[in-house]
Amino acid sequence: MTQQTLNNFQEKWSELADVKDVLAARDWFMGTSGNLAIKVNDEPLHFLVTASGKDKYKRTDEDFLLVDEAGEPVETTHLKPSTETLLHSAIYNKTGAGCSLHVHTVANNVLSELYGDDGKIDFNGQELIKAFGLWDENALLSIPIIANHADIPKLTEVFAKHLTADKGAVLIRNHGITVWGKDAFEAKKLLEASEFLFQYQLALLQLK
């Protein structure tokens, strides 16, 4: 590893660890759920992904491991990449994204079930859709909802159909949300904006 590669690796590790701490403070990793990834190198494609099954509320030296474009560890390790690494691989293989985040929350699960049969949930007239770059007064943010296939290659195949832009979000029914953006800042912004919109919609439905 050259000094530059090492510096980049450490920088990306620390960026992802900082995002993980903020999401943990929001209590978005219940029961070891969730996984996070950040691209470290384009060619060959290498990205850091959370190790599977860890308590993501803790910060340790074994939180992430480096994997290749197929989601396989780059070096021999006792750590297992996230069971959902293939979703992150698909993001980096099909888009120009640099960071991808997946969390399970009560709000995203309840809404994915309520709107699951529609295959999407729409938001308009909401200030926070601007986080997705939608600034027009009549702009519509439509977040796709896909079935939660237990078979991860199958889930990835369905998920990958929605990887049509360098930033976006997909809800997996009764499972969670995956967002991606050009870097950690953008991915975190999209995740927070999505969760704000979900919490708002849930609160509104409860008042009706």
Ligand X SMILES: CSCCC(=O)C(=O)COP(=O)(O)O
* CB-closest chain residue to ligand X: 82
The count of residues interacting with ligand X (CB under 6 A) is: 12
Does residue 44 have a cis peptide bond before it, meaning omega lies within 30 degrees of 0?
yes
CA–CA dist 177, 95 (Å, integer): 18
Task: Please choose, from the candidates 63, 62, 102, 98, the residue with its C-alpha nearest in 3D space to the C-alpha of residue 85.
Answer: 102
The verdict on 33 binding ligand X (CB under 6 A) reads yes
Name residues contacting ligand X, limited to 93-112 (CB under 6 A): 102
Residue type, 161: K
CA–CA dist 25, 63 (Å, integer): 16
Please identify which residue in 23, 46, 48, 50 interacts with ligand X, judged by CB under 6 A.
50
Minimal distance, residue 167 CB to Zn ion, in Å:
20
Residue 124 interacting entry, from ligand X, Zn ion, none, C-beta within 5 to 8 Å by type: none
| Helices 184-207 and 3-25, axial angle in degrees (round to 10) | 10
Give 33-68 as a DSSP string.
Answer: --EEEEEEETTTTEEEEEBTT--TTS--TTSEEEE-
Summarize the annotated binding site as residue ranges: 102, 104
Minimal distance, residue 179 CB to Zn ion, in Å:
13
Summarize the annotated binding site for Zn(2+) as residue ranges: 102, 104
Site string for ligand X, 66-95 (x = CB under 6 A): ----------------xxx-----------
Please identify which residue in 52, 93, 126, 199 interacts with ligand X, judged by CB under 6 A.
52
Residue ranges in contact with ligand X by CB under 6 A: 31-35, 50, 52-53, 82-84, 102
